[in-house]
Amino acid sequence: MAAKVLADMGGGQSLMAAAWMAHCGVKARVVDKRNAKIYSGQADGLQCRSLEIFDSLGFGDRAWKEANHMIEICMWNPGQDGVIRRSDRIPDTIVGLSRFQQVVLHQGRIERFFLDNIKKHSHDSIKIERGVLPASLRIDESDVDREDAYPVTVELQHLSEEESTPKQQISGSKVADGLFRSSLNHENDEEELIAHGSRAGERETVHAKYVLGCDGARSWTRRQLGFELQGEATDFIWGVMDVIPVTDFPDIRMRCAIHSAENGSLMVIPRENKLVRLYIQLKEVAPDASGRADRSKITPDLIFGAAKKILQPYKLDYEYCDWWTAYQIGQRVGTDFASRNRVFLAGDAVHTHSPKAGQGMNVSMQDTFNLGWKIALVSKGIANPKILSTYADERRQVAQDLIDFDHRFSRLFSGRPAKDVMDAEGVSMEEFKDAFLKGNMFASGLSVKYGASELVAPDASRQSLATGLTVGMRFNSFKVLNQADARPWHFQERLKADGRFRVVLFAGNILEAGQRSRVDKFSARLESEQSFIRRAKSPEAPIDSVIEVLTIHSSRRTDTELLRDFPEILHPFNKSTGWNYDKVFVDDDSYHEGFGDAYKNYGVDKERGCVVAVRPDQYVAWVGDVDDFDGLQNYFEGCLRLNGKTRDL
Amino acid sequence: MAAKVLADMGGGQSLMAAAWMAHCGVKARVVDKRNAKIYSGQADGLQCRSLEIFDSLGFGDRAWKEANHMIEICMWNPGQDGVIRRSDRIPDTIVGLSRFQQVVLHQGRIERFFLDNIKKHSHDSIKIERGVLPASLRIDESDVDREDAYPVTVELQHLSEEESTPKQQISGSKVADGLFRSSLNHENDEEELIAHGSRAGERETVHAKYVLGCDGARSWTRRQLGFELQGEATDFIWGVMDVIPVTDFPDIRMRCAIHSAENGSLMVIPRENKLVRLYIQLKEVAPDASGRADRSKITPDLIFGAAKKILQPYKLDYEYCDWWTAYQIGQRVGTDFASRNRVFLAGDAVHTHSPKAGQGMNVSMQDTFNLGWKIALVSKGIANPKILSTYADERRQVAQDLIDFDHRFSRLFSGRPAKDVMDAEGVSMEEFKDAFLKGNMFASGLSVKYGASELVAPDASRQSLATGLTVGMRFNSFKVLNQADARPWHFQERLKADGRFRVVLFAGNILEAGQRSRVDKFSARLESEQSFIRRAKSPEAPIDSVIEVLTIHSSRRTDTELLRDFPEILHPFNKSTGWNYDKVFVDDDSYHEGFGDAYKNYGVDKERGCVVAVRPDQYVAWVGDVDDFDGLQNYFEGCLRLNGKTRDL
């Protein structure tokens, strides 16, 4: 059995990788030692950026529709009398940052969206194989640099149902708990969970070009590679409960950060279906001398009792609990993210932190959203293999930022509020609010900026041509109209995750003769035999197979006509289906959805325009002048194989 | 076999009826003599109102996502030189009318959305039975007034696959055509199509409370009842083709109304997947002395040849044709819409007209959207059976308006354009544009106004309390915020098609003591044992089972608190799930989606508010003062059975 990619399942990140393989037509297998999909209760906040990514895959709307939308954060702190009261309201998502705002949704639903999407785009060929455990992993060092080689050998063991079903902490309990995968578990607990019983199951050997380890904080893949997580646990122990609360607390449907005077802190995360997630500081449970907490002491009653105390004088009760767990806050980052650019680690396998920052699933999924298309394009001969090393560089920085953010936030949130300015041991509520506001930008997922590499042009001298499109950051979205049918689109909707790079030609004022001449010259270069768009694809493939050119102009829509005013290469002709009507857009007022003001928001000159190259994952790769075709050609020569021999997407 | 409702399948209208039964938990069967779902090519414009209705059922987003959005209408007319040129651009949907705009989508997709929705809401119990033909229908007159009776007996015949597959006009053609169901077919053509072959299939007898005939222009059900369609065919013959055009016509992705000087008229309807529907006037085919056209003369070449002539000097070609048909324009309305309020006719069975007005599927689906909930609520003992007679009254007027609109529009569109003001035989292009603009309001589906009845309060004296909510018209939608979590909602999103009536309490300025006292008094009456909301449901059912109370207030969100400022009945308590957080809304600014200005747009006084009763189909039923609880109680006493003995929804 040979496979391009083998992802060991650990939640969203392996499904994200599988989605890329499905969208790019790359053969892949996904194996998961567990036999069931997501367990009850697991939910997570979805960052703006995660929703944008879901939208690029085709299911952002499903998540947006089903999720609970968090609009406002309310901060509660003790007053002079020691009684908690609301001290602040701030928007949960910074206004204007994205077309989405942060929401919360059960992970099982997100898995469902991924599975449907993978099924559709892989034409049923990529399936998640459950109850399958990797038993050995070997990299053939002599083959790692041969592009057509399958240098990674993995032995897989097929488990029985009993072996692959995780056990609940409290047997007989009707409420699902998550302690078996909590950070309070010991290193080998989970191994014991699945390693007992007969090992008589079937075995098979898989030869893979690439292997992804998305197998969690106790990553088997990481241990095979001999890599480690580095960092420390803190003394802070937190409980988590998903309940339908019965309460007179007025902000129970808001996201709340509550510091009580003496009883610890509580975070309220309202969820779908009347559920509310409570993150509850457990002051009565402390780690022992070895730094570990006795998890046997932690029960729903203990956790909920702590929540009740924190929320006094408000009453808090519940009849229905959906799920509960507990964890010890710690921040760790992996020593290495990849081995020989053939085996990669993602998600909790290379960064762990506390869940209540709401970042976990997001950053993990974004790891493989960064990696997946690179593997797909390299394995198809489209991209140069050296782009694979950008994965570790780009994502290690994000992981480090996340850990730093979590460290600061956890300390401020777990600390006792200062009684007054003289109370040096207490946490200043002003400092906490300030950290929260700053954290909000980070928590959107939109502050990520990738450094210079083969994929991100190092020359920032042309950044002034598009001040709203920072090289290395994601391509922001504003509304533009389709020139041919006047329909408004958020421009990001046109940057689908299909593996293609894109060149966005801000054509400026196309009706001005000088500008038209510049656009004509640019288009003539695009048309030429030596053009990167031709040489990135096989000769028989359509012109937009690997790199798509999209145009946004700034003249008035009704003064311009697609066929008359725009060079053919910008709306290519096909003898069976005629002209392409989906590639030229205009920055103009719409009838029903207002004016996106795209040139202004992107910071592009309305007369002279500019050109922007965009990576398949929507990150801005290069900004240049309409005259600088050579610079653009250079960019693509640096990351793609412009030999006209690729297998097309 | 006993069933509440038996709908003979004819497209969207029977599925709409089935959706109501699914949403209201009423047992139903749907039979269709054909064995396949929708044929290639059939597509229709979806009115704003149809999209609002889909949204109330839960799948408006799916239609909106997949459809082609039509934004602009371009009118093309001959200039002085006789050559066509664009004379006007107008928005396809009147700006500000609805949160949706008119779109076009393949009927097969709409059927799919309905089937998924019916499956989900009926818990798989309502299925579409295909290849089943009704053979006889009998109403037991002695039982029609007994509420628990099943007075309609229908014999069903199960067909073989061969019997239930419609034949194509041109055998061997790879392109699907729709001539077999075109108006050019003779009355008995379709009967022959299915009646031949063995009649040896299984038979069964069904006893039903109600039967709906949604069986098209040659409705078998209508003929069993002895009812007729009245009206006339015209001399105008039109062809229809769905092609991927290869053309240099600049507005091929706009909706276009094109009058050529001498070669007839053409309507362009851009569709999804690069397809364009062309409605093409066929001047070379005329009806014979009997008023019928010889359909054997009509071929794709003839139709497309006519289109090419009309579009000169632009070039028009195609390689791919998805579907084609032809029809003779005629307008007919049924003599009767129902028999004994036990057997009902809907859609083409009671109104036929030309397809290019884009109204067909919409008005037909809206027939059963009007009828379905009435049958459901009567069959459950919730509503008084006399409300069933409002179906014919309400929908006959709509059918007549449609026929009048189509008559005028078809005449103007099929006529030769006037050469100048002296050309009395020609059609004035100014008059055409005027008709188009007026027609746009009608074509949105939002101009429907139902007359006074048990379901629409006759007293219009209180209309001034809510000038933007006309009694008898659909409840318009503006954005409001949920009081508890600040999330913006289009208010119409809260008016789901679940069979419930709603009382919308515009609570006004709840922080003003006098107003608070009025709201308290209204709420106390709602709470009382005699209140219509209690008496409309069984004692054990939740308070909002049949009638839901939703509140919109106009004080500032952050100045008010749900539990402190609003009487309990407005956010009812449940001991398992706590307070209800989904019933109180505020007209205030949002962080991310602007200010809906709902009070202003609904024309309601921000201080004193008002009360509005809304039917399950979102039509405004009653408007009154916050003090006029008795008037509201009277409204519900007129249409519901307030005996506390109903079977709940």
In this prediction the pTM is 0.93
Q: Which of the residues B355, B385, B417, B567 is marked catalytic?
A: B355
Is residue A266 a contact partner of residue A241, using CB atoms and an 8 Å limit?
no
Rounded mean pLDDT, A96-116: 92
Question: Does residue A487 sit in the same domain as residue A618?
Answer: yes
pLDDT per residue over A197-210, tens digit each? 343 478 999 999 99
Contacts of A355 (CB under 8 A, 6+ apart): A44, A240, A279, A327
Give the chain A residue nearest B249 (alpha carbons).
Answer: A563
Closest residue in B to A253 (Cα) is: B485
Residues of A in contact with B482 (CB under 8 A): 253
Q: Same domain, yes or no, for B214 and B348?
A: yes
* Catalytic residue selected from B218, B255, B271, B332: B271
Same domain, A337 and A323: no
For residue B199, what pLDDT band results from cuts at 50, 70 and 90? Answer: very low
Domain that holds residue B268: 233-329
Q: Do B467 and B373 share a structural domain?
A: no
Q: Express each pLDDT in A278-315 by its tens digit.
A: 999 998 887 777 777 777 788 999 999 999 999 999 99
Q: What is the pLDDT of residues B279-307, one digit of tens each?
A: 999 988 877 777 777 777 889 999 999 99
pLDDT of B623 above 80: yes
The predicted structure's pLDDT at residue A2: 58
Kindly report the CATH number assigned to the domain that includes residue A567: 3.40.30.20
Q: Please identify, among B386, B416, B433, the residue that sits at the C-terminal boundary of a domain.
A: B386
625-644 in chain A: CB under 8 A from chain B: none
Higher pLDDT, A357 or B26: B26
CB of B268 less than 8 A from some CB of A: no
Burial label, A447 (beta-carbon count in 10 A; 0-12, 13-18, 19+): middle
> Of chain A residues 308-347, which have a CB less than 8 A from chain B?
319-320
Q: Which of chain B's residues have a Cβ under 8 Å away from the Cβ of A245? A: 578
CA gap B300, B311 in Å, rounded: 16
Q: Quick one: pLDDT at residue A197? A: 38
Taking alpha carbons only, the member of B271, B279, B384 closest to residue B642 is: B384
Fill in the amino acid letter for A195. A
Is the pLDDT at B171 greater than 60? The verdict is no
Domain count, chain A: 3
Which residues on chain B are in Cβ contact (under 8 Å) with A562? 250
pLDDT of residue A645: 73
Supply the pLDDT for residue B475.
Answer: 98
Residue of B8, B32, B44, B251 with catalytic role: B44
Per-residue HEC secondary structure of B201-270 comes to CCEEEEEEEEEEECCCCCCHHHHHHCCCEEEEEEEEEEEEEEEEEEECCCCCCCEEEEECCCCCEEEEEE
What confidence score (pLDDT) does residue B180 get? Answer: 52
Interface test with B, best of A592, A593, A595 (most B CBs within 10 A): A592
Partner-chain contact A274 B244, CB within 8 Å? no
Confirm or reject contact between A66 and chain B (CB < 8 A).
no
The answer, for B438 touching chain A at a CB cutoff of 8 Å, is no
Contacts of B571 in chain A (CB under 8 A): none
Residues of B in contact with A66 (CB under 8 A): none
Residue B188: its pLDDT value, please?
Answer: 43
Quote the minimal CA–CA distance from B616 to chain A in Å: 22
Residues B472 and B502 in one domain: yes
**Which chain A residues contact residue B576 at CB under 8 A?**
244, 246, 319-320
d(CA A398, CA A393): 9
B270 touches chain A (CB under 8 A): yes
> Do A245 and B485 count as a contact with CB atoms less than 8 A apart?
no
**Average pLDDT of the segment spanning B398-407:** 89
Query: Does A601 map to a domain?
Result: yes
Per-residue pLDDT reduced to its tens digit, A434-481: 888 888 888 899 999 999 999 999 877 899 999 999 999 999 999 999
Q: How far are the Cα atoms of A298, A556, B256 from residue A59, in angstroms, in the given order?
A: 38, 33, 33
Nearest CB neighbour to A61, from listed B61, B488, B558? B61
Backbone angles phi, psi at B307, to 5 degrees: -65, -40
Residue B123 lies inside a defined structural domain of this protein: yes
A397-436 CB burial, b ≥16 within 10 A, e <16:
ebbeebbebbbebbebbbbbbbeeeeeeebbbbeebbebb
What are the pLDDT digits (tens) for A166-181? 555 444 455 666 665 5
Q: What positions of A carry a catalytic annotation?
A: 44, 271, 279, 355
Residues 380-419 of B with CB under 8 A from A: none
Asked whether residue B295 is assigned to any structural domain, the reply reads yes
Q: What is the sign of the dihedral through the CA atoms of A117, A56, A382 and A29?
A: negative
Q: Are residues A192 and A211 in the same domain?
A: yes
- Same domain as B604, residue B504: yes
**What is the token pair recorded at A264?**
């610890």
Mutate: best of A116, A591, A595, partner B, most B CBs <10 A: A591
Q: How far apart are the C-alpha atoms of B466 and B469, rounded to whole Å?
A: 5
Q: Before B245, cis peptide (omega within 30)?
A: no
Maximal C-alpha separation, chain A: 79
Q: Which of residues 495-524 of A touch B (CB under 8 A)?
A: none
Active site residue B44: yes
Burial class (CB in 10 A: 0-12, 13-18, 19+), A12: buried
Active site residue B355: yes
Q: Does B352 touch chain A (CB under 8 A)?
A: no
Q: CA B385 to CA A16: how far, in whole Å?
A: 55
| Pick from B254, B275, B279, B255: nearest CA to B266 | B279
pLDDT at residue B197 is higher than 50: no
- Tens digit of pLDDT for each residue in B98-148? 999 999 998 889 999 999 999 999 999 998 888 888 999 999 999 999 988
Q: Which amino acid is at B338?
A: A
Say whether B246 and A578 touch across the interface (CB within 8 A). Answer: yes
Nearest Cα residue to A257 out of A298, A182, A301, A311 = A311
> Of the candidates A250, A487, A591, which has its C-beta nearest B563's C-beta?
A250
Give the CATH number of the domain where residue A265 resides: 3.30.9.10
Query: Do residue A305 and residue A336 come from a single domain?
Result: no
Find the largest Cα–Cα distance for chain B.
79
Domain assignment present for residue A615? The answer is: yes
Task: Quote the CA–CA distance of B273 and B578 in Å, as a whole number.
Answer: 48
The minimum CA-CA distance between A289 and chain B, rounded to whole Å, is 42
Q: Is residue A427 part of a domain?
A: no
Pair A213, A247 in one domain = no
Our CA-based measurement puts residue A254 at a distance from the nearest CA of chain B, in whole angstroms, of 5
Is residue B197 included in any domain, yes or no?
yes
Task: Enumerate the residues of chain A whose CB falls inside 8 A of the CB of residue B254.
Answer: 484-486
Query: And the tokens for B276?
Result: 């364009």
Q: Which residues lie closer than 8 Å to A592 by C-beta, 6 or more apart?
A: A488, B71, B91, B93, B95, B101
Domain presence at residue B130: yes
Q: What is the CATH number of the domain that holds A125?
A: 3.50.50.60
Shared-domain flag, residues B364 and B509: no
**A254 at the B interface (CB within 8 A)?**
yes
Q: Is-contact B81 B41, C-beta < 8 A?
A: no
Asked if B222 and B121 sit in the same domain, the reply is yes
Length of chain B in terms of residues written: 649
Question: Are A578 and B485 within 8 A, CB to CB?
Answer: no
Give the integer Cα–Cα distance in Å for A89 and A94: 13
Write down the residue that tokens 């996106």 correspond to.
A596
Give the model confidence (pLDDT) of B93-104 as tens digits: 999 999 999 999
pLDDT, one tens digit per residue, over B488-499 is 999 999 999 999
Q: CB A611: neighbour CB atoms within 10 A?
A: 24
Name every chain A residue with its beta carbon within 8 A of the beta carbon of B444. Answer: none
The verdict on B69 touching A (C-beta cutoff 8 Å) is: yes
CB contacts of A91 in chain B (<8 Å) are 591-592
| Residue A559 sits in the same domain as residue A621 | yes
With CB atoms and an 8 Å threshold, state whether B575 touches A319.
Answer: yes
Q: Is the peptide bond before A313 cis (omega within 30 degrees of 0)?
A: yes
Q: Is B432 a domain residue?
A: no
